[in-house]
A and B are shown apart, each in its own frame.
Chain A
Amino acid sequence: MRKLFIAAALSALAGAAGAEVKVGMITTLSGGGAGLGIDVRDGFMLAIEQSGRDDIEVVIEDDQRKPGIAVQLADKMIQSDKVDVLTGIIWSNLAMAVVPAATAQGVFYLSPNAGPSQLAGAGCHPNYFNVAWQNDNLHEAAGAYANSAGYENSFLMAPNYPAGRDALTGYKRMFEGDLAGEVYTKLGQTDYAAEIAQIRASGADSVYFFLPGGMGISFLKQYANSGVEIPVVGPAFSFDQGILQAVGEAALGVVNTSQWSKDIDNPTNLAFVKAFQAEYGRLPSLYASQGFDTANLLLSALEKADPSDPDAFRAALMEADFDSTRGKFRFGPNHHPIQTIYARKVVKEGDVYTNKIIGVALKDHADAYADECKM
């Protein structure tokens, strides 16, 4: 693996006369959100390595979770590295800063994570494909799960930023019950004592929260110790493999929604989990699966067409003719996935905390913005 990176870096320096396809990966490899970017990168590179193709060159750069740096890197990759395809961005605000400009310059962008509603609706672009989900999807699935679990009165909580508001909008789009409360916390907040007290006083029968990364770890640990017994539901972002070990027992039994889980029973997924574990010595997260699927989508399209012929390449991407870790995978008209989203439960296997599928939350679900996309 390391050899591959060095090879990628060296060939980037040398100008890479031999490589036929150049892929630029801008992702978060340092700072608090690095775990996500590293998983996407590792999943992506695993698929590239497995393909055995040596004519694909991947230039990997760290955006430090800063939109300004992401834009600079994209400019550099498009103008001096002359990449054909860009990928890798984790955060929606960075995607919004990079993607519209990149696709306008004729570069293809394959999103392994961020799926802001703007890019799914009016701002969709023929060269933009999202391989993960539209941002609202997992939250919609959580709302649907809450209905099926019989919850009638939910307390909602998310950080006060665009993806947080989208999250609660997504939940409310599907949830049929009442709202016991709706709280927007500060982005990056680490103490949730005040919100937990509100939850206790709210009379809710369920709590839905969207707190990605460290925020979710803090909330779950504090909630488990508060003596409040109201069941919690969340999206997979607070229960992925990287985070669960840090949350520990506090997450046990919590239901969360995800388009991927390591126990989805298909040959691609089983092989992926095994190969990832062998290569990196840890279980893959949903981010790793998204990186892996993104690379396999790219590889499947490269089999059929070359990016130098954009129309053929676009059509090849649209076919999504690859074996996804999620099983069946296809794109809707706005180049966003139509896919099944599962409800999972946190369990302990040996010493490791992980997720187990308990049911389907939404089957063949498409996003709500496809109609606004005109292309």
Chain B
Amino acid sequence: MQAGAGPGVFRGPPRLQRDRTARHMSAILIVEQILNGLQFGVMLFLMAAGLTLIFGVMGLINLAHGSLYMIGAFVAAAVAGATGSFLLAMICALVAAAVAGAIVEIVVIRRLYAAEHLDQVLATFALILIFSEGTRWVFGSFPMYLEIPDYLSGAVTLPGGIQYPLYRVMLIGAGLAVGLGLWALIEHTRIGIRIRAGENDREMVAALGVDISRLYTLVFALGAALAGLSGAMVGAIQSVQVGMGEPVLILAFVVIVIGGIGSIRGALVGALLVGLTDTLGGVFLPELFKLFMAPAAATSVGSALASMSIYIVMSLVLIWRPTGLFGGRA
């Protein structure tokens, strides 16, 4: 919807700036940036969906979610390196992250459901350290190589003459497809009913004969798989290295706080909001300040403000709705 509005809105004003071609913000650039924001948001959604699901169903703050993202990327890089198949690498990454998630749930997390949030944070933070050093142990200290396969590399020309990397188009598509699948799973399957029931009243669900601990393992593995898939897909265009999960984890927390903790729909809206704010803020805020400031000062003020933009958005959302956009709990 915004993608359509962009060109129309900005068709008039640039005449004034035409002599400053280097700074000229064309309609194409704006649409491209919106696509970038969407793509970033969709990837954030995959991370945030698992995080919010785990928090919603089990009440667990899982700081180690970023480590599962990292595991996905490393496994994908290792499998792609060994077999040359990108698709197989994605599948293995998904499975490996799910298995790692299930093991972590059974060995560690299970003991933490009754514990305070602070204990959970402490234990899952310890898991980050264990996973990071373990990954270095297995794969070494240097970044790993994971490349986009030939059939997905290069740029495509979208309607309107926009050149956009094919892989990123694929990321948007794959992310939305996973989101749709998740929605169908939760709204229309038996497992989904149990997950939703578990969110509302876990004692009652257990009393009704649902094996709650198996459900928890399943949800945790599902969240882990989403994180692993997202790590593997993003790994092809970013650096596969130890500690790559933590920056994304922080953003994912911002997303679920904005969206409302426990809400998948909130995670989607929050992720797109954060993705668009972050991308468009980083590009247009410095330009905005250039209208009334010296370029050097405008760049530094604009960049600084852009780094803060998603946190400003988060604060505003929390002032307006303290439980997040779609949050039910007080």
Q: Mark interface residues in B302-325 (1 if CB within 8 Å of A CB, else 0).
A: 011011000000000000000000
Chain B neighbourhood of A160, CB < 8 A? 300, 303-304, 307
A-B contact pairs, 14 of them (CB 8 A): A31-B242, A181-B23, A183-B286, A183-B303, A184-B303, A186-B307, A190-B244, A203-B22, A213-B143, A214-B143, A217-B238, A217-B241, A221-B237, A226-B163
Give CA–CA (A316, B306) in the complex, Å: 50
Asked if A11 CB lies within 8 Å of chain B CBs, one says no
Contact of A31 among B132, B144, B163, B280 (CB under 8 A): B132
> Do residues B22 and A35 form an inter-chain contact, with CB atoms below 8 A?
no
The size bracket of the interface on A is: 35 or more
Asked if A197 CB lies within 8 Å of chain B CBs, one says yes
Residue of B nearest to A186 (CB): B307
Contact of B247 among A29, A188, A198, A204 (CB under 8 A): A188
Contact of B238 among A30, A34, A191 (CB under 8 A): A191
Contact of B148 among A31, A185, A225 (CB under 8 A): A225
> Do residues B165 and A197 form an inter-chain contact, with CB atoms below 8 A?
no
Give CA–CA (A110, B187) in the complex, Å: 63
Residue of B nearest to A201 (CB): B29
Contact of A249 among B24, B147, B241 (CB under 8 A): B147
Chain B residues in contact with chain A, CB under 8 A?
21-26, 28-29, 32-33, 36-37, 39-40, 132-133, 136, 141-145, 147-148, 153-155, 163, 165-168, 234, 236-244, 247-248, 279-280, 282-283, 286, 295-296, 299-300, 303-304, 306-307
Chain A neighbourhood of B304, CB < 8 A? 160
* Min C-beta distance of B104 to chain A, whole Å: 21
Known: A181-B22, A222-B238, A246-B239. 7 other contacts (CB 8 A): A153-B22, A183-B303, A190-B248, A197-B36, A201-B26, A218-B237, A225-B148
Residue of A nearest to B31 (CB): A197
Chain B neighbourhood of A31, CB < 8 A? 132, 242-243
Residue of B nearest to A226 (CB): B165
> Do residues B243 and A202 form an inter-chain contact, with CB atoms below 8 A?
no
Most interface-central of B167, B239, B304 (chain A CB within 10 A): B239
Interface residues of A in 178-197 (CB under 8 A from B): 180-186, 188, 190-191, 193-194, 197
Give CA–CA (A317, B103) in the complex, Å: 55
> Do residues A227 and B163 form an inter-chain contact, with CB atoms below 8 A?
yes
Chain A neighbourhood of B26, CB < 8 A? 201
Asked if A255 CB lies within 8 Å of chain B CBs, one says no
> Do residues A35 and B141 form an inter-chain contact, with CB atoms below 8 A?
yes
